[in-house]
Amino acid sequence: MNSWVIAGTALGYLILLALIAWAAEKSRKRGRSVINNGYVYALSMAVYCTAWTYYGSVGRAATNGMEFLTIYLGPTIMCAIFWPVLRKIIRICRTQGINSMADFISTRYGKNFSLAVIVTICCVLGVIPYIALQLKAITTSFDLLSGNSGAGAGIWRNSNFYGIILLTIFILFFGTRSVDASERHEGLVAAIAFESIIKLLAFLAAGLFICYGIFGGVTDIFRQAAEREDLQKLFVLEAPSAYSLWFSMLVLSMLAIIFLPRQFQVNVVENLNENHLRKASWLFPLYLFVINLFVLPIALGGSLLQPDNIANADLFVLSLPLSQGQELLSLFIFVGGFSAATGMIIVETIALTTMISNNLALPALISTRSLQGRTDRSVQSIVLWVRRGSILLVVALAVLYDEAVAQQYTLVSTGLVSFAAVAQLAPAVLGGLYWKAASKNGALAGLIMGFSAWIFTLLLPSMAGAGLISNEFVEQGYGGINWLKPTALFGLSSLDPVSHSLFWSLLLNCFCYVAVSLNSKKGTQETYQAEIFVDIFRSADISQQRTAWKDTASLPALRLLLQNFVGQERADRLLRNYAQRHQIELDTNQADPRLVSFTEKLLSGVIGSASAHIMVSSVAKAEELSMEEIINMLRESQQNIELNRELRRKSSELTKATEQLSALNRQLMAMDELKDEFLYTVTHEIRTPLTSIRALTELVHDHPTMPEEQREQFLSAVIRECERLSHLITQVLNLERFESGKHPIHYSDTTALALLQSATDSIAPLAEAKSLQIKISAEEQPIRCDKDLILQVLYNLLSNAVRYTPEGGRITVLAKVHDNSSEGTRDKISRPVTEQQIRFEVRDTGKGIPPESLELVFDKFYQAPNQTLTKPEGSGLGLAISKKIIELHGGQIHAENLTNGGACFIFVIPALNPVENE
């Protein structure tokens, strides 16, 4: 393919990225952030998938089988603990104004300058090979697509060189827009998220074409590969050290997802909301899962089609479609790879630049007093130019490494060197997060020993392999001493080079870190920072309000210092807002200690915590608090927090208790209403006969000459009303006796049929009056029960049926053996329960019962809705008494509506109750 077409496409793609970044920045200025969601955050994390993933994984899979998956399984494992671990780091960085890994470690260990320098140097040394790896990927993929060998062409004649220049201009423009390094690069993050989508789509397109366009699907590739003996070995982990290498790479990638400078940049510095971690913790592993689905099939497909080209297996993803004449698809795949490489270069360069400028360049300028005493905007300009210079330095170093070393190695080998380097940060960071006793000296000792071991066991052998240094010491050991061989240190020769290096470097690192920490004394600043870091969720507020210093600074000097770095307007606004929030006077000449601390935090975002500490110290006379004062201050603050938490807990309990009381109160009010309703019903029922009795007796009393026949009629009516009155009172009394358990039960033998006949005989006159038909269906089933009480139940149910059945209707009464033990009633008064039971049913053809009242009709005092507004038809006690009687017999009663209309009351009682009265 024509080189200019490829270069033009790459240039067009970079311009598109710039437009996306510009649009995102513009949107942010309008107050609408396009990156403020979990999806963009997760996609920006996918900057982890670099050219290594895109090209290198295929190359690794073609030679080592499934081992490449460890690089993606490791981050998945770490994603499970993103919420507890990464959230803690994010919270610390936000409250402390931290913007790089070097700053994080330095701040944790008392804002130690030496630590910041060491971490920066180690990161630069460790990550430059990784950036070089990306450049190599761009170069080789460009050469493959354009058909150039690339050999012999000088760097100036290489078109990739100009691509790198364009990329550098892009980073310079979007990476140094603000002097505040802790400020988010929204434009860049949007561009990175877009690149993640492009590289995923391009890789999937390549995978689908190779699997389904060239071969007959994934299974076809596996089937053909299984027939080749040399490819069968890729299906398993076969090498003797396969498990150790697998484990080492898993550990390396677990650490890399947090400690790689670019991951720290996107995961922590660019994070807008901690809650985005929730989505990213599963979406990012899902991205890794999808992008790796076709890696092994592509590697096997390439090995099948180009068995003589295994040395260039890194480029199978591009060379296979190209060999099939798919130029357009190949160009798209090239853009995907270009995306993967440029995304990494952009973010990694910015992350390294922040560290270099804040921890190396600016402190050097500060020490030469180049920045001190300046009162104009030139300080900001110097800071920005230092950053730009750092960007150029990083890119230049990467180009040099690419030319000198990286070309000799596969992509994965170069990447693993970087992974092993950043793994050395793990003890200092993780220990700093969870171990208060960890000290600055321990961290220093651990980092120095770990990095030294890494250089000796991995970096130097890789340089020797590239011919940059003599290979003699690798083969014979340092100084000819056999047990100082870099790849078999102290005679440990059974491990592969990566596992070997990881083992020794982390062992020495951890040992020195722990041993020195336990045996060194910590300063007050260190103690204070340890408390803040380890207990960040409890002490975030403390760090905002308290300092470890009794600073005495002149407020104008402090203001001037801040103005020099962030501009006059912004400095004034920030100080004013802070002073208002914490009720601090700004009219005095003496600065409040909190303002000094706040200024230092603001400057940390611009020049790093170590440099900021130096700058603030130059205008403030700081008197360090004693250890006792620090501990008392933290204790007091934590006691306040504990007290606050206890108060919140008590308040929550009180709210719960209030809710319970309210519920009880509502219940009592409902019962009170029921009682009032009942009293109303009873008094109404009593008043009606009383009124009749009074009226009739007055008539008889006032008319002594009344005819005898009429007098007898009136007196009969008086007697009837008295009986009604007596009946009502008896019912109330009975209910009370049933409820209190005072009513005796007299068991006797009878039959179900006899009970039904007796009940229907009693109700027959009432039924006849309404022309109702009563039908009985029962067996001569013997039953032992309190005959009178069961008759009372049947009479209640029948009289209700008569009352609610329209004229000419039908009432059916039936009794049968109910032999279902699973529905059998459990005797509540510990009497033996027989399994055989009798089921009684009273059915009518009335209007039925409203469904919502089916459960309520047995409640005492219950009246059908709105009855009290007209005339209540009954006292509301009949069914309540019936239920009580059935329960006393160890049975159950309920009501249901029939499908063809009408209601049905059903009760079940044991057939053979005890002979003795209970």
Partner 1 sequence: MSVKSKNQQAFFICICCLLFFCYPLLSIANKHTGIGPIPLLYCYIFLGWLFFIVLIWFNSRTKNRNQ
Q: Which residues contribute to the site for partner 1 (CB under 8 A)?
A: 66, 69-70, 73, 76-81, 83-84, 218-220, 222-223, 226, 232, 235-237, 243, 246-247, 250, 275, 278-279, 281-282, 285-286, 289, 293, 296
Q: Of 219 and 730, which CB lies nearer to partner 1 in the complex structure?
A: 219
d(C-alpha 40, C-alpha 191), whole Å: 10
d(C-alpha 137, C-alpha 144), whole Å: 11
The first and second tokens of residue 240, run together, are 């003797």
CB of 458 to partner 1, least distance (A): 22
Q: Of 4 and 289, which CB lies nearer to partner 1 in the complex structure?
A: 289
d(C-alpha 427, C-alpha 450), whole Å: 10
CB of 63 to partner 1, least distance (A): 16
Q: Of 300 and 553, which CB lies nearer to partner 1 in the complex structure?
A: 300
Which of 101, 142, 163, 304 has its CA nearest to residue 220? 304
Q: Of 78 and 127, which CB lies nearer to partner 1 in the complex structure?
A: 78
Q: Of 533 and 678, which CB lies nearer to partner 1 in the complex structure?
A: 533
d(C-alpha 858, C-alpha 879), whole Å: 5
Q: Of 220 and 887, which CB lies nearer to partner 1 in the complex structure?
A: 220
CB of 289 to partner 1, least distance (A): 6
d(C-alpha 278, C-alpha 148), whole Å: 46
CB of 70 to partner 1, least distance (A): 8
d(C-alpha 908, C-alpha 906), whole Å: 7
Please give, one letter per residue, the 3-state secondary structure of 531-576.
HHHHCHHHHHHHHHHCCCEEEEEEHHHHHHHHHHHHCHHHHHHHHH
Number of Cβ within a 10 Å radius of residue 219: 11
d(C-alpha 9, C-alpha 850), whole Å: 77
Residue ranges in 377-410 assigned as alpha helix (H):
378-404
Residue ranges in 238-308 assigned as alpha helix (H):
242-259, 261-264, 276-292, 295-305
CB 433 within 8 A of CB 85: yes
CB of 219 to partner 1, least distance (A): 5
Q: Of 77 and 384, which CB lies nearer to partner 1 in the complex structure?
A: 77
Which of 524, 581, 563, 576 has its CA nearest to residue 547? 524
> Cα torsion for 417, 422, 428, 432, to the nearest 10°?
-150
CB of 918 to partner 1, least distance (A): 50
Q: Which amino acid is at 599?
A: T
Q: Of 66 and 763, which CB lies nearer to partner 1 in the complex structure?
A: 66
Residue 912 has what DSSP assignment? B
Q: Of 254 and 398, which CB lies nearer to partner 1 in the complex structure?
A: 254
Q: Please, what sign has the CA dihedral across residues 686, 691, 694, 696?
A: negative
- What SS3 state is found at 185? coil
Which of 56, 723, 719 has its CA nearest to residue 337? 56
d(C-alpha 822, C-alpha 46), whole Å: 61
CB of 443 to partner 1, least distance (A): 24
CB 298 within 8 A of CB 210: yes
Q: Of 173 and 235, which CB lies nearer to partner 1 in the complex structure?
A: 235
Q: Of 79 and 785, which CB lies nearer to partner 1 in the complex structure?
A: 79
Q: Of 447 and 502, which CB lies nearer to partner 1 in the complex structure?
A: 502
d(C-alpha 513, C-alpha 435), whole Å: 11
Q: Of 65 and 126, which CB lies nearer to partner 1 in the complex structure?
A: 65
CB 506 within 8 A of CB 454: no
CB of 853 to partner 1, least distance (A): 41
CB of 649 to partner 1, least distance (A): 12
CB of 203 to partner 1, least distance (A): 16
Q: Of 225 and 553, which CB lies nearer to partner 1 in the complex structure?
A: 225
Q: Of 494 and 697, which CB lies nearer to partner 1 in the complex structure?
A: 494
C-alpha pair distances (Å), 99 with each of 397, 599, 664? 23, 16, 56
Please give, one letter per residue, the 3-state secondary structure of 808-849.
CCEEEEEEEEECCHHHCCCCCCCCCCCCCEEEEEEECCCCCC
Q: Of 2 and 232, which CB lies nearer to partner 1 in the complex structure?
A: 232
Q: Which amino acid is at 814?
A: L
d(C-alpha 64, C-alpha 497), whole Å: 15
C-alpha pair distances (Å), 140 with each of 319, 338, 398, 775? 11, 11, 16, 100
CB of 66 to partner 1, least distance (A): 6
d(C-alpha 33, C-alpha 15), whole Å: 21
Over its C-alpha atoms, the chain yields an Rg (Å, rounded) of 45
Q: Tell me the residue length of the chain.
A: 918
- What SS3 state is found at 749? strand
The first and second tokens of residue 800, run together, are 């209700």
What is the DSSP pairing of strand 590-591 with strand 549-554?
A: antiparallel
Q: Of 70 and 263, which CB lies nearer to partner 1 in the complex structure?
A: 70
CB 114 within 8 A of CB 536: no
d(C-alpha 555, C-alpha 569), whole Å: 16
Q: Of 44 and 837, which CB lies nearer to partner 1 in the complex structure?
A: 44
Could you tell me which residues come within 8 angstroms of residue 263 by beta carbon, excluding any fewer than 6 positions away? 45, 47, 48, 256, 257
The first and second tokens of residue 137, run together, are 């990927």
CB of 425 to partner 1, least distance (A): 19
